[in-house]
């Protein structure tokens, strides 16, 4: 397993970072929960590769992650975003710096697949930017929702698994399969987060951008008896009693079940890809898939929703 301290050391010894204390401070703000940075390590191990060579690649993925979150928090007007203390302009500029550094880190690596890796990082950042652009548009359309998810929520996971597989010596066919697996993981996480976010209290920021949350979108556009009442509640959603009533409508209208339905479909597709993929250690990714929806089980139980048997079957390892 890669030591996170090695990743941090790689980042800090970059000349631009050493001369820019603000970049160091931002890194330290985000390095407390580096789990999503380790996607390349996971796929590298799954294909039987040597993870010790991955430190620069993991550092590059971490830089992309930080760049994306810095901008995403601004666009979402997230009250916990780092821009609240740094300012929007400073945060946006730092995001550009982290993105540029990710390219530099991979460019300095050696191996036959560096051009493919750089192309994937470019796709990751360009596609995510397109997705963030779509996400701030106030469009109540499921087609728009899925287009946004495809652009914003999947490229990071696609890249993480694909890059790790390439660095681990997998052939391009296997790497592409794991890229597709990552795409589905991104969708799964987005829908799961949507469902979790609507049942948080106080009201999450998703209620202010309701076209970007599948459960809220369903309750607003689907034909159900409480649709007009749901719309009337939205302007006062920060009031606890209003939020509770709106959450109940999500259950009654079928919005929550609709999210679960999509999660079942996505999880089954992801499992099918793993079953067809020639991996040295397939259990690593099978377990990863199962862990991604553990909190869904808890959420369903907490809100007294039945667990679909298809979901449990899809996640058996």
Count of the separate structural domains present in the chain:
2
Out of 75-79, 99-103, 289-293, give the one with best mean pLDDT: 99-103
In this structure, are 88 and 188 located in the same domain? Answer: no
pLDDT interval class at 126 (50, 70, 90): very high
In this structure, are 58 and 156 located in the same domain? Answer: yes
| 36 vs 156: CA distance, rounded Å | 9
DSSP string over 114-132: HHHHHHHHHHHHHHHHHHH
- Specify the pLDDT at position 317: 42
The model's pTM: 0.92
Peptide bond between residue 258 and the one before it cis (omega within 30 degrees of 0): no
- Assess contact for 286 and 53: CB atoms under 8 A: no
pLDDT at 310 over 80: no
The conformational region for residue 2 under phi > 0 = left, psi -120 to 50 = alpha, else beta, is: beta
> What share of residues in the chain are helix, strand, coil (percent, to 5)?
80, 0, 20
Question: pLDDT tens-digit profile of 172-190?
Answer: 999 999 999 999 999 999 9
Report the SS3 class of residue 280.
coil
Last residue of a domain, one of 141, 170, 199: 170
pLDDT at 142 over 50: yes
pLDDT at 222 over 80: yes
pLDDT at 230 over 50: yes
In this structure, are 6 and 145 located in the same domain? Answer: yes
In this structure, are 123 and 70 located in the same domain? Answer: yes
In this structure, are 47 and 157 located in the same domain? Answer: yes
In this structure, are 158 and 14 located in the same domain? Answer: yes
Question: pLDDT tens-digit profile of 108-117?
Answer: 999 889 999 9
Question: pLDDT tens-digit profile of 4-43?
Answer: 899 999 999 999 999 999 999 999 999 877 778 889 999 9
Burial of 228 (0-12, 13-18, 19+ CB in 10 A): exposed
Domain containing 310 equals 172-317
In this structure, are 33 and 72 located in the same domain? Answer: yes
Mean pLDDT of the chain: 91
In this structure, are 166 and 218 located in the same domain? Answer: no
* CATH number of the domain where residue 120 is located: 1.10.600.10
- Assess contact for 67 and 96: CB atoms under 8 A: yes
pLDDT interval class at 226 (50, 70, 90): very high
- Specify the pLDDT at position 276: 96
Question: pLDDT tens-digit profile of 250-289?
Answer: 989 999 889 988 998 998 999 999 999 999 999 999 999 9
Helix axis angle for 155-167 and 55-76, nearest 10°, is 180
Question: pLDDT tens-digit profile of 203-221?
Answer: 988 998 778 999 999 999 9
In this structure, are 66 and 97 located in the same domain? Answer: yes
* CB-CB neighbours of 171 under 10 Å: 11
In this structure, are 119 and 180 located in the same domain? Answer: no
In this structure, are 139 and 5 located in the same domain? Answer: yes
- Specify the pLDDT at position 209: 79
Mean pLDDT, to the nearest integer, of 132-161?
A: 95
In this structure, are 152 and 188 located in the same domain? Answer: no
Last residue of a domain, one of 152, 170, 188: 170
Report the SS3 class of residue 224.
coil
Last residue of a domain, one of 149, 170, 191: 170
pLDDT at 311 over 70: no
| 262 vs 201: CA distance, rounded Å | 24
- Specify the pLDDT at position 104: 97
């Amino acid at each position: 397993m890669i030591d996170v301290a090695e990743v941090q050391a790689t980042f800090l010894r970059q000349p631009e970072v050493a001369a820019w204390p603000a970049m160091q401070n931002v890194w330290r703000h985000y390095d407390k929960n580096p789990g999503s940075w380790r996607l390349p390590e996971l796929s590298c191990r799954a294909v039987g590769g040597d993870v010790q060579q991955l430190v620069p690649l993991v550092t590059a993925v971490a830089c992309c992650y930080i760049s994306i979150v810095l901008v995403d928090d601004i666009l979402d007007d997230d009250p916990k975003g780092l821009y609240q203390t740094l300012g929007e302009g400073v945060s946006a500029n730092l995001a550009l710096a982290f993105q540029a550094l990710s390219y530099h880190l991979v460019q300095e690596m050696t191996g036959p697949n560096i051009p493919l890796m750089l192309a994937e990082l470019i796709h990751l950042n360009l596609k995510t930017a397109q997705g963030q652009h779509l996400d701030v548009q106030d469009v109540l359309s499921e087609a728009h929702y899925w287009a946004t998810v495809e652009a914003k929520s999947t490229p990071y996971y696609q890249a993480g698994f694909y890059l790790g597989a390439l660095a681990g010596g997998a052939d391009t066919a296997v790497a592409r399969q794991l890229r597709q697996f990552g795409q589905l993981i991104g969708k799964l996480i987005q829908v799961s987060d949507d469902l979790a976010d609507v049942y948080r209290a106080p009201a999450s920021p998703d209620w202010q951008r309701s076209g970007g949350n599948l459960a809220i979108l369903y309750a607003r556009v689907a034909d159900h008896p409480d649709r007009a009442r749901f719309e009337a509640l939205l302007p006062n959603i920060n009031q606890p009693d209003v939020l509770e009533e709106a959450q109940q409508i999500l259950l009654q209208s079928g919005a929550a079940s609709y999210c679960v339905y999509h999660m079942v479909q996505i999880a089954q597709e992801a499992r099918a890809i793993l079953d067809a993929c020639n991996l040295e250690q397939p259990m690593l990714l099978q377990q990863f898939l199962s862990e991604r929806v553990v909190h869904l089980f808890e959420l369903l139980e907490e809100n007294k929703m039945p667990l679909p048997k298809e979901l449990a079957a899809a996640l058996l390892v």
